[in-house]
Amino acid sequence: MTLDAKIQPACENIDDITFDDIDDIINPRPDENDFDQVVENALSRRGFMSGVLVLGGAAMLGASSALTPSIANAATLFDFEQVLANSLDTITVPKGYTWDVVAKWGDPLFSDVPEFDEATRGTPETQARAVGDNNDGMDLFEKDGKSVYVVNNEYVNRKIIWGNNPDGKPASDADILKGKLAHGVTVMEVAETDGKWMIVKGSPFNRRITPDTEMDITGPAAAHDLMKTLADPTGTKTLGTWNNCGNGRTPWGTYLACEENFNGYFSGPSDDYEVTSELKRYGVSGRDWGYSWAKIDDRFDVSKNPNEPNRAGYVVEIDPFDASSTPQKRTALGRFKHENAEVVVAKNGKIVVYMGDDERGEFLYKFVSDGTYVEGGDTSKLLTDGTLYVAKFEADQKGQWISLTKETVGMEAAEIAIHTRQAASKAGATTMDRPEWVAAHPTKAEVYCALTNNKNRGKKPNAGGDATPAAGPNPRAKNNYGQIVRWRPEDDDHTATSFEWDLFVLAGNPKVHSDAYAGSENINEGNMFNSPDGLSFDDKGILWIQTDGKYTNEGDFAGQGNNQMLAGDPATGEIRRFLVGPNECEVTGMTFSGDRKTMFVGIQHPGEKGNSHFPDGGKSLPRSCIIAIKREDGAVIG
């Protein structure tokens, strides 16, 4: 059966399937009935889950080590009124707040580029010099009175970018190239005039980084045979970055773009073309996900360039203030479906980067630099020389970071950097419910990770065959709702190998369930949501939670409305809804202006199934965009 035949009965269009579902269809995982007993055990503790877990397992940790005090009588951290869940094709923010669009897909970065044309949806030439599509992770950098905004452009929705063609598919090489150039990263100066943030067209900082931009390969994988291709026999120079999901920011003022579902862009001479088991672990196959890049660029044909996929799946470091700088691929941070890269300076001065691998049953990682960070000192080796660790959670709310080294997994440093998933499997790491963003508390050594959902939990192994029992921080089989796990490193030292963990929240639906799927006790019918994804702390210590989940508002998701953004209080466990997005969008990416009076939030793929006209309304084409949120009284947000 061809892959099309496998996919079509399940779904009319590949665009209607999630990335993980495509991976599962192309590479079916066997059912694992052996897990059933473990699932039973987990569910038999449901009273414990929904009754005692309370605010993320405070009781499980015991009073003396509890991360969470009681919510009762606690003062709230929030100064806004919760907004109601809804299915409106607009943004809903609390009373006293306003919102405005800053930049949309296709907005020109230079004055000689025409405004976005809905009829054609642009050309390769305009797209190469305009804001990319599907904005995701973002950050704002301020220096010498200039504000430079950097934002990832994760992917394109075929039905939208090629929706002007009758079948919603690329009709020409130019269409394919336009789609390709809508990926990558947008760097743009922004300025606030009369309270409105706008792109500064023609600024010398403005730049598009695309799948064709030259980059250096650094770290352990550089120059290894697995990195060499026909076009780059040195294995040290590569072109481009794509499917950039979440992001990171270093203390020395650079931006980190994280390559997530990089596999979906490669294809072979036929859908059934057999790739190596190493590539299969990463979901590379003979069939791409509809982007068609191999038709215009041999790099993406795995039969001609079998090593090209080894050059993607990394974290890329970008200097926002130098538009001529060469982005650096940091292979020391491992190769996997990177979500974001949360950078902290440990108390001994080492740089620690926490990272999730977003696929069902994959792992949570951290990188620890060899060198230490000194303000104004040499930072060039801090993300090239160091050790990668993977998390192993134990059932007693303890956990260990296992180093990935030749001694622990029997692989050379370059192989660990390239085949990181295989190394982590050998280390016996804990299979997780799709680790999304990681966020570190601004003043405490406490780190949070969104585990968005995992319908295979307790049912199927991960792509490497590792079992996924319902246990520990992934306690629910067929987990449709997701949870947020957090950990505290031993001695408040981010470089420590031991930690203590608990669950900050189990998302769920108390309207339709009364067991563990109702969620933890800080979830109620007023604040419920599914599929936490984006996570960021503000300076005040509010944990901002963004969702990328089911927006049917029916069945298991009844009453949850559109994707949204909520605020969490780490101290009390309180969760309050702050924003609801428009139809069929994902809310992802956030940052603040330097004065903290503007909060920027990303609205990705409104109308991904054809039912939105956000943000311009009327009969306009829906467009991913960045919005600016302010308080009407002009005060600081958060």
In the complex, what is the shortest distance from the CB of residue 436 to Ca ion, in angstroms, rounded to a whole number?
5
Residue 189 partner contact from Ca ion, ligand FEO, none using kind-dependent CB cut-offs of 5 to 8 Å: none
342 makes contact with ligand FEO (CB under 6 A): no
- Beta strands across the sheet bearing 575-580: 532-537, 543-547, 564-568, 575-580
Contact 332, 367 (CB under 8 A): yes
Q: Which of residues 260 and 538 has its CB atom nearest to ligand FEO in the complex?
A: 260
Nearest to 309 by CA among 360, 272, 268, 340: 268
Subset of residues 219 to 258 that bind ligand FEO, contact rule: CB under 6 A? 245
Residue 359 partner contact from ligand FEO, Ca ion, none using kind-dependent CB cut-offs of 5 to 8 Å: none
Per-residue mark of binding to ligand FEO, 355-384 (x: CB under 6 A): ---x--------------------------
Residue 297 partner contact from ligand FEO, Ca ion, none using kind-dependent CB cut-offs of 5 to 8 Å: none
What does the chain come to in residues?
638
Q: Sign of the C-alpha dihedral, residues 82, 83, 86, 90?
A: negative
Subset of residues 519 to 538 that bind ligand FEO, contact rule: CB under 6 A? 533
Q: Which of residues 149 and 336 has its CB atom nearest to ligand FEO in the complex?
A: 336
CB atoms within 10 A of CB 64: 5
Q: Which of residues 22 and 245 has its CB atom nearest to ligand FEO in the complex?
A: 245
Q: Which of residues 362 and 548 has its CB atom nearest to Ca ion in the complex?
A: 548
**Peptide bond preceding 475 in cis form (omega within 30 of 0):** no
At residue 311, φ and ψ (nearest 5 deg) are: -100, 10
Token pair recorded at residue 334: 């491992």
Q: What is the DSSP string of 396-412?
A: TSEEEEEE-SHHHHS--
Which of 339, 357, 415, 502 is in the footprint of ligand FEO by CB under 6 A?
Answer: 339
In the complex, what is the shortest distance from the CB of residue 468 to ligand FEO, in angstroms, rounded to a whole number?
17
Q: Which of residues 137 and 508 has its CB atom nearest to ligand FEO in the complex?
A: 137
d(CA 132, CA 591) in angstroms, rounded, equals 18
438 makes contact with ligand FEO (CB under 6 A): no
Let me know the angle formed at the C-alpha of 133 by 601 and 326, rounded to the nearest 5 degrees. Answer: 95
In the complex, what is the shortest distance from the CB of residue 153 to ligand FEO, in angstroms, rounded to a whole number?
12
Q: Which amino acid is at 2?
A: T
Which of 23, 139, 260, 433 is in the footprint of ligand FEO by CB under 6 A?
Answer: 260
d(CA 100, CA 490) in angstroms, rounded, equals 43
Residue that is written with structure tokens 């992917």 in the block: 155
Residue 175 partner contact from ligand FEO, Ca ion, none using kind-dependent CB cut-offs of 5 to 8 Å: none
Q: Which of residues 358 and 574 has its CB atom nearest to ligand FEO in the complex?
A: 358
Contact 343, 323 (CB under 8 A): no
Token pair recorded at residue 423: 């190394």
In the complex, what is the shortest distance from the CB of residue 183 to ligand FEO, in angstroms, rounded to a whole number?
12
In the complex, what is the shortest distance from the CB of residue 33 to ligand FEO, in angstroms, rounded to a whole number?
29
In the complex, what is the shortest distance from the CB of residue 518 to ligand FEO, in angstroms, rounded to a whole number?
25
271 makes contact with ligand FEO (CB under 6 A): no
Which of 308, 436, 502, 569 is in the footprint of ligand FEO by CB under 6 A?
Answer: 436
Q: Which of residues 232 and 548 has its CB atom nearest to Ca ion in the complex?
A: 548
- The single-letter DSSP state of residue 471 is B
- Beta strands across the sheet bearing 586-592: 97-104, 625-631, 598-604, 586-592
Residue 260 partner contact from ligand FEO, Ca ion, none using kind-dependent CB cut-offs of 5 to 8 Å: ligand FEO
What number of H helices and E strands is found in the chain? 12, 28
Residue whose Cβ sits closest to Ca ion:
548
Binding site for Ca ion (CB under 5 A): 533, 548
Token pair recorded at residue 549: 């989940």
- Helix H or strand E segment including 179: helix 173-181
154 makes contact with ligand FEO (CB under 6 A): yes
User: Residues interacting with ligand FEO, by CB under 6 A?
Assistant: 154, 245, 260, 339, 358, 436, 533
